[in-house]
């Protein structure tokens, strides 16, 4: 029942057709077109009832028109859901004026003030279309203003049947007051919604600029160091003929710098793709132990260099339902962090268990740990200052944030428990195949 209510709820209707692939401005326009369509449906139902009660001229003809307009506005919501946004907007800006034309021509004339709505609809295209679609903005603006001018200066009052409510001039005046107030309400509602989303766009721009600065900072500092180290060692190797021991040391340093650069770039690219919502998700049933073993094999050399011992207890039968590339990136990041922040000769423990609808994977170490402030930054989704591993390994402060967001995108959760100098335990819950 809850899901049914949610599907027919206002929030659901307003967000028909909105998805992660749309930029924020397009999302706002889709939401506004949905809002106007919903208001149009409600208004046509309302006036159809009022006209019938008040005995408006040609009321049944108007009811038929209202019915077709309601159907068209419902179809516009369907078009948005099918991501045919431009067609939906074009049909919308012309459809909303249709009942007004018929009301003013065959029913009320310029009585009741219904033609005031033309001024509202003349403003609608400015919030529905982009500047590149100025042709439609101009057409709709001019046509609605011409309709308003015609009925204001050349229109005639409606002819109402004696004995009906509308024959009373007081009732006609009430309709006029309602038209004025409704027009002002619709303008206020649309502009308020537009301002609200303009504020969202401004915040998004601030956030995007902050991300851009973070990327430049990482490129300038976290990549400059390892690439400079590689350049120095390569220069040394090309200008001298080192002894075997010196060559081994140089190659190890080169490998360390290469690994560090690769990790920085991988985290940076995953973070940037995730922030731009451009990561496709392909969910499938996978073996948890296979994912864990693949990540362990990739990082074996890094663990061997620090004499880190693996302790893996993951039953073969545990299956998970997730995106293989994403979950592999997450587990590889968590294993890499566990090695990086563990002391030499330490142990990295990986344990997997089946818990109802989820498989739980716990990665723990006895390394340098994290402060409460760092954990809070991770929970809030904020980058934190770069930290160094036990042998001077440098990170970006993005790895755990990338993991958290990737897990969230797959319906997974992550819990971090850590204390300085006491190690870190990270538990992730992944939906299983059952």
Q: For the segment 2-54, what is each residue's pLDDT rounded down to a tens digit?
A: 444 344 567 888 888 888 777 777 888 888 899 889 988 998 998 889 888 88
Pick the closest to residue 300 from 341, 335, 351, 327 (CA basis): 335
3 state SS of 62: helix
Helical axes 134-153 vs 117-128, angle rounded to 10°? 170
Q: What is the residue-wise DSSP string for 176-230? A: HHHHHHHHHHHHHHHHHHHHHHHHHHHHHHHHHHHHHHHHHHIIIIITHHHHHHH
Segments making up each domain of the chain, as ranges: 2-205, 223-278, 282-434
Q: Is the pLDDT of residue 365 over 70?
A: yes
* pTM, rounded to two decimals: 0.55
Provide the CA 424 distance to its chain's centre, in angstroms: 31
Q: For the segment 272-329, what is each residue's pLDDT rounded down to a tens digit?
A: 666 555 566 788 899 999 999 988 887 887 788 888 999 999 998 889 998 888 888 8
The tokens of 370 are what? 């994290």
The tokens of 117 are what? 């709505």
Domain 282-434 listed as CATH 3.30.565.10: yes
Q: For the segment 60-85, what is each residue's pLDDT rounded down to a tens digit?
A: 999 999 999 999 999 999 999 998 99
The neighbour count for residue 152, using CB atoms within 10 Å, is 14
The whole-number pLDDT of residue 159 equals: 82
């Amino acid at each position: 029942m809850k899901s049914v209510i949610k599907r027919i709820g206002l929030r659901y209707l307003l967000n028909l057709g909105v998805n992660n692939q749309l930029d924020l401005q397009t999302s706002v326009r889709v939401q506004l077109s949905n809002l106007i369509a919903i208001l149009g449906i409600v208004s046509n139902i309302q006036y159809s009832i009022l006209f019938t009660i008040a005995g408006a001229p040609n009321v049944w003809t108007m009811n038929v028109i209202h019915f077709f307009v309601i159907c068209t506005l419902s179809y516009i919501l369907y078009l948005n859901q099918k991501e045919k946004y431009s067609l939906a907007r074009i049909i919308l800006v012309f459809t909303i004026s249709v009942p007004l034309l018929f009301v003013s021509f065959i029913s009320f004339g310029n009585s009741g003030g219904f033609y005031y709505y033309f001024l509202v609809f003349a403003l609608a295209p400015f919030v529905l279309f982009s500047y590149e679609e100025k042709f439609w903005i101009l057409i709709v603006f001019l046509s609605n203003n011409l309709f308003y001018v015609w009925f204001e200066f050349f229109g005639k009052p409606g002819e109402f049947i004696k004995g009906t409510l509308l024959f009373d001039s007081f009732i006609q005046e009430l309709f006029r007051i309602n038209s004025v107030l409704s027009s002002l309400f619709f303008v206020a509602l649309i502009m308020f919604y537009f301002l609200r989303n303009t504020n969202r766009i401004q915040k998004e721009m601030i956030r995007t600029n902050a991300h851009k600065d973070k990327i430049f900072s990482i490129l300038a500092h976290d990549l400059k160091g390892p690439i400079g180290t590689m350049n120095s060692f390569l220069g040394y190797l090309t200008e001298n003929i080192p002894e075997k021991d010196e060559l081994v040391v140089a190659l190890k340093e080169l490998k360390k710098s290469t690994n560090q650069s690769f990790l920085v770039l991988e985290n940076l690219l995953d973070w940037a793709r995730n922030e731009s919502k451009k990561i496709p998700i392909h969910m499938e049933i996978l073996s948890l132990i296979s994912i864990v073993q693949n990540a362990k094999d990739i990082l074996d050399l890094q663990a061997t260099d620090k004499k880190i011992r693996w302790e893996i207890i993951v039953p073969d039968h545990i299956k998970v339902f997730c995106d293989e590339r994403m979950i592999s990136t997450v587990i590889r990041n968590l294993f890499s962090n566990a090695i990086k922040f563990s002391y030499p000769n330490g142990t990295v423990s990986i344990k997997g268990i089946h818990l109802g609808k989820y498989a739980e994977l716990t990665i723990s170490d006895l390394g340098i740990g994290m402060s409460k402030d760092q954990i809070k930054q991770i929970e809030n989704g904020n980058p934190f200052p770069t930290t160094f591993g036990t042998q001077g390994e440098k990170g970006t402060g993005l790895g755990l944030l990338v993991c958290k967001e990737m897990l969230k995108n797959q319906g997974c959760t992550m819990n971090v428990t850590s204390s300085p100098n006491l190690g870190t335990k990270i538990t992730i819950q992944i939906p299983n195949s059952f």
